[in-house]
């Protein structure tokens, strides 16, 4: 089965290229939609495997303040798992307003793993591929000792 096409009203997850997880967020995400998305990401964290996330916010509009605070709370609650399991995150942002919202969250809670903000999928995929190559090399080198 190929990658899923993103929905226009809810978050869409594609793990067909695991350990690369692609998450598309719609233009507007309801509070319930945000909770579902955070629950899904938590599920991936609890798999016990390291992975890299491409978070596509290219269609996102203004992120409400209460959702930004909810993201900060979630980052606090999952800090240790994020540190252990996340290889990195590439966030695709095309709007300066969304960039400001994301920057505010990351200023409040800097991520404990490599991260980058990109303007398009090509740049995000290139960065992700490099991180995954590094991860494979470190994992292989470590096992060889």
pLDDT at position 63 is 85
Share of the chain above pLDDT 90, in %: 71
Segments in the chain forming alpha helices (H): 31-45, 65-77, 79-85, 96-108, 121-143
Query: Domain segments of the chain: what residues?
Result: 12-143
Which residues, 6+ apart, have CB-to-CB distance to 36 below 8 Å? 10, 11
Burial of 139 (0-12, 13-18, 19+ CB in 10 A): exposed
* Segment 34-87, tens digit of pLDDT: 999 999 999 999 999 999 999 999 998 888 889 989 999 999 999 999 999 999
Local structure of 113: helix, strand or coil: coil
Assign 99 a pLDDT band (cuts: 50, 70, 90): very high
> Measured between alpha carbons, how far apart are the two ends of the chain, in Å?
38
Lowest mean pLDDT among 5-14, 71-80, 127-136: 5-14
User: Across the chain, which distance is largest between two alpha carbons, in Å?
Assistant: 49
pTM of the model: 0.88
* Segment 111-129, tens digit of pLDDT: 999 999 999 999 999 999 9
CATH H superfamily, domain 12-143 = STAS domain (3.30.750.24)
């Amino acid at each position: 089965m190929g990658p899923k096409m993103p929905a226009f009203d809810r978050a869409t997850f594609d793990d067909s290229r695991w350990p690369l997880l692609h998450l598309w967020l719609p233009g507007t995400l309801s509070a319930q939609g945000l909770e579902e998305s955070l629950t899904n990401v938590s599920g991936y964290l609890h798999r016990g495997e390291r992975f890299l996330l491409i978070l596509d916010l290219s269609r996102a509009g203004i992120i409400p303040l209460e959702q930004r605070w909810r993201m900060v709370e979630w980052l606090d609650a999952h800090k240790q798992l994020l540190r252990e399991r996340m290889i990195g995150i590439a966030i695709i942002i095309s709007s300066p307003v969304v960039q400001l919202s994301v920057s505010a969250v990351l200023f409040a809670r800097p991520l404990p793993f490599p991260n980058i903000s990109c303007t398009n999928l090509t740049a995000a995929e290139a960065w992700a591929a490099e991180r995954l190559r590094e991860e494979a090399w470190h994992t292989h080198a470590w096992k060889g000792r």
